[in-house]
Amino acid sequence: MARPIPPVTLRGRLIAGLLVLLACACAAVGVVSVLALNRSLLSGLDHQLTTSRGRFASSLEHSQGDTRGQSAGTFGARLVAGVVTQCGVVAPQRDTDDTSSTGPTLTLSAADTAALAALPADGRGRTVRLSWLGDYRLMAVPGLDGDTLVTGLPLVEAEATVHRLEAVEAAVFAVALVLTGVAGALWVGVSLRPLRRVAATARGVTELPLADGEVELPRGVPYTDPRTEVGQVGASFNRMLDHVGDALARRHASEQRLRRFAADASHELRTPLAAIRGHSELARRHPGPVPPEVRHALERVQAESVRMGHLVDDLLLLARLDAGRPLRREEVDLTRLALDAAGDARVAGPEHRWRLELPEEPVTISGDADRLHQVLTNLLDNARTHTPGGTTVMVRVGPPAGGGPWVELSVADDGPGIPEELRGEIFERFVRADLGRSRASGGTGLGLAIVRAVAGAHGGSAEVESRPGRTVFRILLPASHAREALPSGSPT
């Protein structure tokens, strides 16, 4: 049998605790009142039996007994040496002038006889169950002839009175529990309303994009009375919001300064880099003899200036995307982009096996063709650079597995996979999968950051799934017919 699940909310626990305490109090009051009533009724019967002093039992020795002043159902018995010699019960009176006698002859069982014989003649009342009569309050006193006189009164009315009290108490206590539960729920609900507002504010804070840009935090809660527990929680929560807001503001200001610095530095570096490339190219074209070591140095200067120019262009692109500058919007055929990018990758990496999975009809979206081509190029370069020769790389364009108004652009390979410790930050800037690679042969660590930034600027998202033997980069972009209807942001 399954155990009942206790309430988990504070409101439920408070109401349940209140009802349990009230039920315990009602049970205690009921038990005490029933016991007190039962004792009072038994005391009344014992008083009646003491007053009669065995008169009815004594009269049984003569004819049918003297029933005057005896209530109906009074039991009497006379015992001599532990043997019942006479016994009887007062019958109900049928007429006001009828002095009545005992009822029909009683037949006592052996158990009844033994119970009567066991009664001590001390004049104290005791409860005994007689086979044919039910529960009786019996009292035994010594007679004048050396016999024992037993007189008893039925407990039917006393038991009925106790049962009526129990029924009334059960009904009253049940109504009290229901009314207390309803009133307690309302009272606890009103009392916990400030705490629920604190929880709602905290929940709203957790739903804010704290990791992205400048965030406006809620103003806090008005419950700050230090004399109450809720006020203490509210004051602490407001202080926490102030600290978080200050930290977010400082972080945002720092990021803005870094972005401006990257944009300004990249912009300023373009002119000297162009001059370096121009002068190195001019020196290489000098008609006179140039020593081999000088020619090699000039070639390295030109190669590094070209590489640095690509780095500056990537930094400028990221800076523009961070600043929220809109991209060019035009109809872009993703199938054509995939064909062109895969063809370029096949030329750059002939040792790999390049595959295409394209739909029969062209897939078009609204976006920036140059930036989307850069996304595909970065993903294919990434697959070619980080997988050995003979690896199969699959480029796919089509609807995503989950459906919806999206287009999926994916690049999958069967290479060794991405190290687990890098999967969570693979789209961050300057993250390099192979830390041991030389700067001359490796990339800048900005390729995948550009992939995610461009996807986000198109209202889409970038994600990766990797394990040994399979790595998939998926780019989800809004379909052209759904762009106007969908808010900007990543798909869920």
Q: What rounded mean pLDDT belongs to the chain?
A: 81
CATH of the domain at 121: 3.30.450
Q: Which of 442, 417, 416, 415 is nearest to 431 (CA)?
A: 442
Q: Encoding tokens for residue 321?
A: 């995307």
Same-domain status, 162 and 137? no
pLDDT the model gives residue 244: 80
Measured CA to CA in angstroms, residue 244 lies from 247, 249, 251, 370 at distances of 5, 8, 10, 39
Residue 374 lies in a domain: yes
Confirm if 128 and 115 have CB atoms less than 8 A apart.
yes
Residue 266 reports pLDDT greater than 80 = no
Higher pLDDT, 476 or 486: 476
Residue 2 lies in a domain: no
Same-domain status, 441 and 390? yes
CA distance 278 to 358: 42
CA distance 487 to 220: 28
The secondary structure of 196-245 as a DSSP string is HHHHHHHHHHHTS-TTSS--------S---TTSHHHHHHHHHHHHHHHHH
pLDDT the model gives residue 93: 63
Residue 485 lies in a domain: no
The DSSP call for residue 353 is: E
Which structural domain, as residue segments, surrounds residue 400? 328-478
CA distance 115 to 5: 51
* Bridge pairing between strands 406-413 and 364-367: unpaired
Residue 207 lies in a domain: no
Q: Encoding tokens for residue 153?
A: 């009164």
Percent of the chain at pLDDT above 70? 85
Chain segment 38-59, per-residue pLDDT in tens: 999 999 998 888 888 778 888 8
CA distance 473 to 452: 11
pLDDT the model gives residue 482: 45
Kindly state the average pLDDT of the residues 118-129.
90
Q: How many CB atoms lie within 10 A of CB 255?
A: 13
Chain segment 67-114, per-residue pLDDT in tens: 677 788 889 888 988 888 888 888 876 554 444 445 545 778 889 889
Residue 284 lies in a domain: yes
Residue 395 reports pLDDT greater than 80 = yes
Type of residue numbered 221: V
Q: Last residue of a domain, which of 267, 298, 321? A: 321
pLDDT the model gives residue 470: 92
Same-domain status, 264 and 248? yes
Same-domain status, 168 and 117? no
Chain segment 290-312, per-residue pLDDT in tens: 777 877 787 788 777 777 777 77
Confirm if 280 and 305 have CB atoms less than 8 A apart.
yes
Q: Last residue of a domain, which of 275, 293, 321? A: 321
CATH of the domain at 250: 1.10.287.130
Cβ neighbours for 37, distance < 8 A, ≥ 6 positions apart: 161, 162, 165
CA distance 322 to 338: 26
Measured CA to CA in angstroms, residue 62 lies from 66, 99, 101, 116, 397 at distances of 9, 16, 12, 21, 119
Number of compact structural domains in the chain:
4
pLDDT the model gives residue 7: 58
Same-domain status, 337 and 268? no
Chain segment 130-175, per-residue pLDDT in tens: 888 889 999 999 988 888 899 999 999 999 999 999 999 999 999 9
Residue 210 lies in a domain: no
Chain segment 187-246, per-residue pLDDT in tens: 888 887 888 888 888 787 777 777 666 677 777 777 767 787 777 888 888 888 888 878
Same-domain status, 337 and 472? yes
Confirm if 238 and 221 have CB atoms less than 8 A apart.
yes
pLDDT the model gives residue 487: 39
Same-domain status, 358 and 250? no
Same-domain status, 358 and 280? no
Distance of CA 297 to the CA centre of its chain: 65
Q: Which residue has the tokens 């990434």?
A: 382
Q: Last residue of a domain, which of 290, 321, 352? A: 321
Helix (H, G, I), strand (E, B) or coil at 380: helix
Confirm if 59 and 66 have CB atoms less than 8 A apart.
yes
Same-domain status, 165 and 306? no
Residue 341 reports pLDDT greater than 60 = yes
Higher pLDDT, 449 or 491: 449
Residue 473 reports pLDDT greater than 60 = yes
What residues does 86 pair with on adjacent strands?
78
Residue 182 lies in a domain: yes
Same-domain status, 125 and 60? yes
pLDDT the model gives residue 337: 92
Most confidently predicted of 323-337, 385-399, 474-488: 385-399
Same-domain status, 173 and 273? no
Cβ neighbours for 474, distance < 8 A, ≥ 6 positions apart: 400, 408, 409, 410, 462, 463, 464, 465
Same-domain status, 146 and 47? no
Kindly state the average pLDDT of the residues 378-401.
91
CA distance 159 to 162: 5
CATH of the domain at 472: 3.30.565.10
Q: Which residue has the tokens 């190029």?
A: 377
Helix (H, G, I), strand (E, B) or coil at 123: coil
Residue 278 lies in a domain: yes
Helix (H, G, I), strand (E, B) or coil at 116: helix
Percent of the chain at pLDDT above 90? 29
